[in-house]
Amino acid sequence: MKEIMYNQNSILIAAVLFALLLIAVEVGYRLGLRNQPAVDEESRSHVNAFQASLLGVLALLLGFTFSLALQRFDSRSQAVVDESNAIGTTYLRSQLLPVSMQAEVQGLLRSYLDVRVQESTVTLSDLAGRQALLDQAGQYQNSLWHYAVLAAQEDKSPVTSGLFIQALNAMIDSFGSRNAALDRHVPEVVLFLLFAVFLLTWGIVGYAAGAAGHRPSKVAYLMLVLVVLLVFIIIDLDRPRRGLIEVDHRSLTTLQTAIDSGNYGDTLSTP
pLDDT of 138-196, one tens digit each? Answer: 999 999 999 999 888 887 666 778 889 999 999 999 999 999 988 888 888 888 888 99
Q: What integer pLDDT is reported at residue 78 of this predicted model?
A: 93
pLDDT at position 132 over 50: yes
The rounded distance, in Å, linking the Cα atoms of 114 and 107 is 11
The pTM of this model reads 0.81
Nearest to 90 by CA among 116, 122, 120: 116
Rounded mean pLDDT, 22-35? 89
Q: Over the chain, what HEC string results? A: CCCCCCCCCHHHHHHHHHHHHHHHHHHHHHHHHHCHHHCCHHHHHHHHHHHHHHHHHHHHHHHHHHHHHHHHHHHHHHHHHHHHHHHHHHHHHHHHCCHHHHHHHHHHHHHHHHHHHHHCCCCCCCHHHHHHHHHHHHHHHHHHHHHHHHHHHHCCCCCCHHHHHHHHHHHHHHHHHHHHHHHCCCCHHHHHHHHHHHHHHHHHHHHHHHHCCCCCCHHHHHHHHHHHHHHHHHHHHHCCCCCCCCCCCHHHHHHHHHHHCCCHHHHCCCC
Q: What's the mean pLDDT in 125-149?
A: 91
Assess if residue 1 is contained within a domain.
no
Query: Is residue 196 included in any domain, yes or no?
Result: yes
Q: What is the pLDDT of residue 34?
A: 84
What is the distance, to the nearest Å, from the Cα of residue 252 to the centroid of all Cα atoms in its chain? 18
pLDDT of residue 268: 44
Q: What's the mean pLDDT in 205-210? A: 87
Domain count, the chain: 1
Count of Cβ atoms closer than 10 Å to residue 186 Cβ? 22
User: Mean pLDDT throughout 132-141?
Assistant: 94
User: For 144, how many CA atoms within 13 A lie in the half-sphere containing its CB?
Assistant: 29
Instruction: Indicate whether 267 belongs to any domain.
Output: no
CA–CA dist 182, 86 (Å, integer):
18
135 within domain boundaries = yes
In a domain, 268, yes or no: no
Please give the pLDDT value at position 39. 64
Would you say residue 197 lies in a domain?
yes
pLDDT greater than 60 at residue 267: no
pLDDT at 185: 83
- Tell me what the pLDDT averaged over the chain comes to: 86
pLDDT band at 211 (very low <50, low <70, confident <90, very high): confident
Examine the pLDDT at 133 and tell me if it is beyond 90. Answer: yes
How many residues are there in the chain?
A: 271
- Selection from 20-29, 115-124, 210-219, 260-269 with the highest mean pLDDT: 20-29
Residue 270 lies in a domain: no
**Residues spanned by the domain of 154:** 10-262
- Does residue 167 form part of some domain? yes
The predicted structure's pLDDT at residue 126: 79
